Structure 1
Amino acid sequence: MPILEMLDYAGVAVFAATGALSASRKQLDIIGYIFLACVTGIGGGTMRDLVLGTTPVFWIANPAYLLVSTAVAITLFFTAHLFGSRYRVLVWLDAVGMSAYCVMGAAKGYEASGSMTVALVTGALTATFGGILRDVMAGEPSVLLRPEIYVTAALAGSFVYVVATEFALELPAASTLGLLAAFTVRGGALRYGWTLPRGKALPGRDPDDVM
């Protein structure tokens, strides 16, 4: 199996697992598990294909991706309660899925356009959109609103992959470097609380005051 296809399946499977774990935290029924797993697993790739004008989108061209997400959801429906801290497992699985998927998204964008800018956008979209949908549908605080680095990690992995490709590294090496870069940044954010500088409110103004 080609390495990019492996990353695609890995990204879908791991993100589907995070969707199923969110369903577990909300104590949903098995249909809820499958729905959240599928939406999370295919969400980022669907957005990528729509942006690039790739039709039919990947999971319609190859329904095996839906079967993978469904199998993951059913497995976790019967086993998720065995995890001591489902949220901790969820965020680390999300980091793994994001790392794999940002490389896949960057590769697709770069192949379609030859542009580093486009590759960075499609890498970030592919890696983060499914997680955003998961959090919105599960009623969890969005990953975008958490203080630690998230999208930046996807951008870092996409950037490293494209630069490695520009330097004519073979696909396995370039993909590995991109994946490791994304996971290192996201893992550091989770482990050590890495953040970017945040915007400041006007003096004497409550940050929650939107007026």
Structure 2
Amino acid sequence: MVEPRFFETIAPIYDFLTKLFMGGTYESMRKRMLNEDTSQMEILDLCCGTGYICNTIEAKRIVGLDQSDAMLARNAKVKRDNKTLIKGNAYQMPFKEEEFDRIYNSSASHEFKLFSRLLKKSYEILKPGGKIVIFDIYQPKNPVLSLFMNTFVRYAVERGIMFVHTKEEWRQMLQEAGFVVEELDVIRGLYIFARASKPLNTAVNQPNS
């Protein structure tokens, strides 16, 4: 996992860098991630950063979790009565079982060596019928894009700390956590979009121990 001090340094320009990082998908992917009525839902913005999701989404309750003080400080500049920001390690989410209707994770999964652990915890804290929505870079099969991802992106952008997965590996991780995959699409050859749900009857689809 990337050390918090890195984000303390880049927080002032993080939004600008994210727009570059998302390759022209900044607004379109947010619109796709938030393409439903969540106004009466309880939402977790996991690795919320400066508020890409939690400062835009309409919800009954919004919780943003991040490990960086500087990122949370910038997020907090947008005042919302229904928003709570929590400093914490995503591997150790301080939430109870079946607490949220939706969990969003944007441009952050590649920072975690064991993102599968976050998926399993997300499954636990989602209500039955709840969903997780994810957008990030992934591991392309195309040899040219794979070379670009594992050279320029890995070392020039991510400073050598990057954990990316193929589309098939994403499907496997989501399913092993207990989710039913609803959408799993490659975007512009370099990004992955996933939407997966926790079954209403969780007894028939328990995640592997």
TM-score interval (norm. to shorter): 0.3 to 0.5
In the superposition, the TM-score normalised over structure 1's length comes to: 0.32
Q: Decide which structure has the larger Cα Rg and report it.
A: 1
Q: What TM-score does the superposition give when structure 2 sets the normalisation length?
A: 0.32
Higher relative contact order, chain-length normalized (CA < 8 Å, sep 6+): 1
Structure ranking higher in strand proportion: 2
Higher helix share: 1
